[in-house]
Amino acid sequence: MGLLARRSRAASKQNGPGTAPHTSGYIGEFLTYVLAPLLPQLLANKTRVITNAGGLDPVGLKELIEKFLREKKKGDIKVAAVWGDDLLPQKSQLARSGAFKPFEPLNGKGKPEEMFSEEDSLLSLNAYLGAGPIVAALNSGAQIIVTGRVVDSALVLAPLAYSYKWDLSPTSTDLDKVASASLAGHIIECGVQCTGGNFTDWRDGAFSPYGDWSNMGYPIVEFHSNGMFTITKPRQTGGVVNVLSVAEQMLYEVLDPANYLLPDVNLDLSNVRLTQDAHDSVRVHGARGSPPTPWLKCTAIRQNGYRIEGALIIPGHEARLKARILGDALIRRVNMILKRMEIAEITDYRVETPGAEEAFGYIFFCLLI
C-alpha cells in the first residue's frame, strides 16, 4: 500500500494539481495480465471474479475495467467496487477522537511508540475490511468485484456466505461456518505456500512430478455446506498437498491459535483436525467461531528516509542444493511465461550461492541474467 501511495503521489505531481489523489493507486496489471486474457473463459463459465487489486483506488480500477469491457462490446457486465478502507483523509479527526489504539495480539497491550499522532505525515492509512461489503456487491448482481484493503480471508468467505446465505452479524448462529470459511481463506491466501512452496520438507515439492517448483499448482478449496472443506490443487501440476504442508500455512501469522482476530469472526483453531483424504487432498474441519471485536486492524505507513531491500533467504540443511534447484526452477518458470507471451526465452544465465559456508547454513539466492 505504501508503494502504491508513493506512486500515486508521484503521478499526481507530474500531472498537475487537478489530478485525482489516487492516480495509479491500483494494480493495473490485474486487467492486463489476468482479466483480459481470461475474459473469454470467465464469460463462458459464468465465473464471477473478486479481487483486492483496487489498492488505494478500487473505484479507479473499476472504471478502467468498465472502459475495457465497453471497448470489447461487453459493457453489460456489471462491475462493482468496495471502498471505505482509506482512512487517510479522516486521519486528524479520527486521531483527535481517540479512534486509534496500539494493539499487540498476544497481550492486548500495544507499544506507545508504534502509535502515530494527528500531525504525523503518513503515506497511507487503511482499515482491513471484512466480507460484508463484498456479499452486498454479489447480491447486487456484480460479476466483477474490485476491493481496496480487505483481509485476505474475506475474498473466500464472501462468495461462500453469499452462496449459503449465512448471517455475518455478531449474533449469528453461523459463526462456526464463518470461521471455517475464514480458515479456508487463510490457508490459501499465500498461494503455493500450502501446496509445498517454501515447505520444511522442501524436497517433496522440489522433486514433485509435473514440473516441480517451476509448475507449482495453486490451491483449490472444495467447501461443503456443513463447514468442512478440502484443500487440493489442479491435476498434473507440481507441488504437494499433505497434512504438514497445510498445517504450516494454517499456523502462519496466527500468533494465538485460539483467538485469531478477523473483522468477520474470532477464529479458534485449537480443535482443527487435518486428514489426508487422498493424494494431494487434505480435509479440514473443527474450526470454531465467536463474535468479532468492534475494532478493525489498520495499516499505517510512513516514509522516514529508509529503504528496504528484500532478498530471498534459503535456510537450513542442504541450503546450497535447495538454492540451485530453486534458481533453475525460476528460470524454467519464466521461460514458460515468455513462451506463452511469444517473447524470446532466457538462454544465458548464471545462478550463484554466495556465503554458503560463511553464513553457517544460510545463503542468499542470487540470480544473474
What is the domain partition of the chain in residue ranges? 176-308, 313-368
List residues bridging with 299 in a β-sheet. Answer: 126
327-348 pLDDT tens trace: 899 999 999 999 988 999 988 8
Judge contact between 58 and 81, C-beta under 8 A.
yes
Residue-level pLDDT at 301: 85
Residue 365 pLDDT > 60, yes or no?
A: no
| pLDDT, mean of residues 76-91 | 94
272 by DSSP, 3-state: which?
Answer: coil
**What's the mean pLDDT when you consider all of the chain?**
88
As a whole-number percent, the residues of the chain with pLDDT over 90 amount to 65
CB atoms within 10 A of CB 229: 21
DSSP string, 66-127: HHHHHHTT-TTS-EEEE---B-GGGHHHHHHTT------TTTS---GGG---TT---SEEEE
pLDDT digits (tens, 9 = 90+) for 103-119: 776 666 666 666 777 67
Please say whether the dihedral angle defined by the alpha carbons of residues 143, 144, 150 and 152, taken in this order, is positive or negative: positive
What integer pLDDT is reported at residue 21 of this predicted model?
A: 44
Residue type at 299 in one-letter notation? T
The answer on pLDDT for 95 being more than 50 is yes
CA 193 to chain centre: 12
User: With bands split at pLDDT 50, 70 and 90, how would you rate the model's confidence at 351?
Assistant: confident
Long-range contacts of 15-19 (CB under 8 A, 24+ apart): none
Instruction: Note the pLDDT of residue 273.
Output: 98
Instruction: Return the pLDDT at 359.
Output: 44
How do residues 168-214 score in pLDDT, each as one tens digit?
999 999 999 999 999 999 999 999 999 998 889 999 999 999 999 99
pTM: 0.87
Cβ proximity of 142 and 134 under 8 Å = no
pLDDT of residue 22: 44
pLDDT, residue 354, reads 72
pLDDT at 287: 98
